[in-house]
Structure 1
Amino acid sequence: MSCPALIDFEASCLPEYGQSYPIEVAIARIDGESRAWLIRPLEAWRHWDWSEEAEKLHGISPEMLRKEGLPAGQVLEEMARFVGDCEVYADADLDAYWLELLAHGLKAPVPFAVNFLGEYLMRHNFARPQVVAALEAAKLRLPKEHLAREDAKRLALVVKLLLEGQEAE
């Protein structure tokens, strides 16, 4: 089983510091496959906010985006292909917002819905202690935070551990 998929974005600044835009996105499936993309900012975002605090957290600079970032349209297309028929989940509403912002900036439809991970966990009747244990185990294996690929992989691992635990019962 490869689905569901988990998504995580990094952004130009933290929401409390201003108008942010997506700069990196990663998607990880529970089969262990993952992809990450640096997003070259759209011209429309040129005057939006950038914070050094966020840059210190994720380690992505404007220069890095100019040199290594992919065109936003390419990122959106590759994301949609990678997701395929999987349902997509995130641990924060902001991830859905940044996907919408990316699509709208391209005047493209949002390629898939981003659902709240908590709903998935509740629908599968995972108890809080199970979720906490899976999260702690995933953090031990993937301790780096504020890197989209690592964050998405950690969330996918949490779901995988929970599903494996459910099968073992």
Structure 2
Amino acid sequence: MDNQATTRLPLITFLDVEASGLLQPDSYPIEIGWADTLGNSDTLLIHPCDTWSHWDRHAEALHGITRSQLLEEGIPVAEAAHRLNEMLGVETVYCDALEYDGFWLSRLFEAAGVERSFTLADVHQLHDVLGAERAALLRDIVREMPTPHRAREDAARYAEACREALGRIY
């Protein structure tokens, strides 16, 4: 896609969270990644709070992140919350698992004592933003892409599909 086409694309940001466990109420965020339609992205490994001890080996097998990796490379929850607010501002940010990603982000921001500046929305709400044809095309493109189960890569998958869907119709 050429630069002129890229500059016409709307800014749409996607976020994904990897967690210490799947579907457990005591699970917590371990990696948060985001990517937007302009090609920007980032990922944060989260150093667990002292009270966050739950660890599910099945989740680890899925995302490939070890608890020792978090303890060595992760950033404190307060730093992660502030960086997310700085990077995402007051945008609406889309995720494909709103209930879970919202739960884990709430755990992070609550533990950090920081109010989240951005709004979360479900990717299905893009129907209102993109229109029916583009939203359906986005879903079809994403369905055909591999799911890496890493936060930035999962968010980037949606951003890439969105760029492709917008590019085909513009």
TM over 0.5: yes
What are the residue-to-residue correspondences of 1:89-100 with 2, within 5 Å? 89-93=94-98, 94-100=100-106
Determine if the alignment matches structure 1 residue 19 to structure 2 residue 22: no
Determine if the alignment matches structure 1 residue 69 to structure 2 residue 74: yes
Amino acid at match of 2:79: Q
**Map of 2:112 onto structure 1:** 106
Aligned-CA RMSD value: 1.9
Equivalent residue in structure 2 for 1:4, among 5, 9, 12: 12
Q: Which runs of 4+ in 1 moved over 3 A?
A: none
SS at match of 1:99: helix
Structure 2 residue ranges without an equivalent (≥5): 1-8
Provide Cα deviations, 1:77-100, integer angstroms capped at 9, x if missing partner.
111111134321101121111111
Aligned residues of 1:96 and 1:113 also touching (Cα < 8 A):
no
**Map of 2:89 onto structure 1:** 84
Aligned residues of 1:55 and 1:61 also touching (Cα < 8 A):
yes
Amino acid at match of 1:162: A
Identity fraction in percent: 30
Aligned residues of 2:47 and 2:70 also touching (Cα < 8 A):
yes
Q: Calculate the TM-score normalised by the size of structure 1.
A: 0.85
Within 2, Cα distance between the matches of 1:126 and 1:33?
26
**Map of 1:28 onto structure 2:** 35
**Map of 1:55 onto structure 2:** 60
Structure 1 residue ranges without an equivalent (≥5): none
Q: Calculate the TM-score normalised by the size of structure 2.
A: 0.85
CA drift at 1:107: 1.9
